[in-house]
């Protein structure tokens, strides 16, 4: 099969990667040093626990609906220790039943998961703070998000420019040539985990960082037919440049420290 294949799937992606490797054997390779590997393992484990906690909360809310709908404070609040303590007291005050016992077990499980998740987040903070001060200084980049970005990037030095990094992150604009006007469409390629991080940062900055809102407004003003989604994509592309520069700076500082230690 020599022609291009339509669509996107694991076999198609694997074939495309194999062809690229044959055409250009000197392509830079992804590499995770020990710290970056630890960050990736910890973030993956934390995410699995968060997913588990969400499932447990959903099961708890199903029981609360039958026990007493007023006890259901919503998914977000059911992760808080005070809410869980209040809920435990309220459940103990209800008549004895199998559903009440199950609800109490689920509350205890959520509390245990909270402790595990908190422990992993503290571990991530201890690892990420010394190696990514510039990245962490960006508004909207938490220790968890920074760890995820570093783990998914697998070495910022392998990208020759911010444009190459944007293509990897799926934020590079894709031009549409079939229309009579210049326009771009959503890039559905790239690393979707990185793209999710950039989306989360963009939403946070639009809510809490005036320069991000100013950038969006300026971009929209110069394009009369721009949509809200297009403006968000432009902001994510702009943030990609910022993150690329921050990670490059942190990598340089880290290398200088290693050279001095040697």
Report the pLDDT averaged over residues 232-250.
94
User: Which pLDDT score, from 0 to 100, does residue 224 have?
Assistant: 74
Whole-number pLDDT of residue 180: 59
Least reliable range by pLDDT among 23-37, 83-97, 118-132, 228-242: 23-37
Tell me what pLDDT residue 147 has: 95
pTM: 0.79
Say if residues 135 and 253 touch (Cβ distance below 8 Å).
no
SS3 of the chain: helix, strand, coil, percent, to 5: 70, 0, 25
What is the structure's pLDDT at 220? 87
At residue 184, what are phi and psi to the nearest 5 degrees? -130, 155
Residue 129, pLDDT score: 94
Decide: helix, strand or coil at residue 183. Answer: strand
- What average pLDDT score do residues 21-45 get? 76
pLDDT at 25: 58
Q: Is the pLDDT of residue 27 over 60?
A: no
- Average pLDDT of every residue of the chain: 87
Which residues touch 202 (CB under 8 Å, ≥6 apart)? 140, 212, 232, 235, 236, 239
Taking only the tens place, the pLDDT of each residue in 111-143 is: 999 999 999 999 999 999 999 999 999 999 999
Give the separation between CA 190 and CA 66, rounded to whole angstroms.
Answer: 44
Q: Find the largest Cα–Cα distance for the chain.
A: 71
Choose from 12-16, 28-32, 187-191, 195-199 the range with maximum mean pLDDT. 195-199
Q: Which residue has the higher pLDDT, 246 or 24?
A: 246
> Which whole number is the average pLDDT over 20-46?
77
pLDDT of residue 1: 45
- At 139-197, the pLDDT tens digits run 999 999 999 999 999 889 888 899 999 989 988 877 666 555 656 566 667 788 999 99
Q: What is the pLDDT of residue 2?
A: 47
Predicted local confidence at residue 182, as pLDDT: 58
Q: What is the pLDDT of residues 48-58, one digit of tens each?
A: 999 999 999 99
């Amino acid at each position: 099969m020599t022609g291009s294949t339509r669509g996107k799937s694991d076999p198609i992606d694997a074939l495309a990667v194999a062809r690229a490797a044959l055409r250009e054997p000197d392509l830079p390779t992804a590499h995770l040093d020990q710290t970056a590997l630890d960050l990736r393992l910890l973030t993956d484990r934390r995410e699995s626990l968060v997913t588990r906690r969400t499932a447990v909360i959903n099961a708890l809310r199903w029981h609360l609906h039958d026990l007493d709908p007023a006890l259901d404070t919503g998914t977000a609040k059911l992760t808080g220790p005070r809410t869980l303590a209040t809920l435990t007291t309220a459940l103990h005050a209800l008549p004895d039943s199998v559903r009440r016992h199950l609800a109490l077990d689920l509350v205890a499980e959520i509390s245990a998961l909270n402790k595990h998740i908190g422990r992993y987040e503290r571990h991530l903070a201890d690892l990420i703070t010394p190696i990514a001060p510039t990245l962490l200084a960006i508004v909207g980049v938490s220790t968890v998000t920074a760890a995820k970005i570093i783990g998914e990037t697998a070495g910022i030095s392998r990208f020759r420019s911010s444009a190459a990094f944007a293509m990897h992150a799926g934020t590079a604009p894709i031009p549409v040539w079939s229309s009579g006007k210049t326009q771009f469409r959503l890039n559905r390629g790239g690393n979707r985990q990185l793209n999710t991080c950039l989306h989360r940062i963009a939403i946070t900055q639009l809510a809490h960082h005036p320069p991000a809102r100013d950038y969006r407004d300026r971009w929209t003003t110069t394009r009369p037919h721009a949509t809200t989604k297009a403006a968000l994509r432009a902001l994510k592309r702009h943030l990609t440049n910022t993150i690329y520069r921050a990670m490059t700076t942190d990598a340089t500082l880290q290398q200088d420290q290693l050279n001095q230690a040697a």
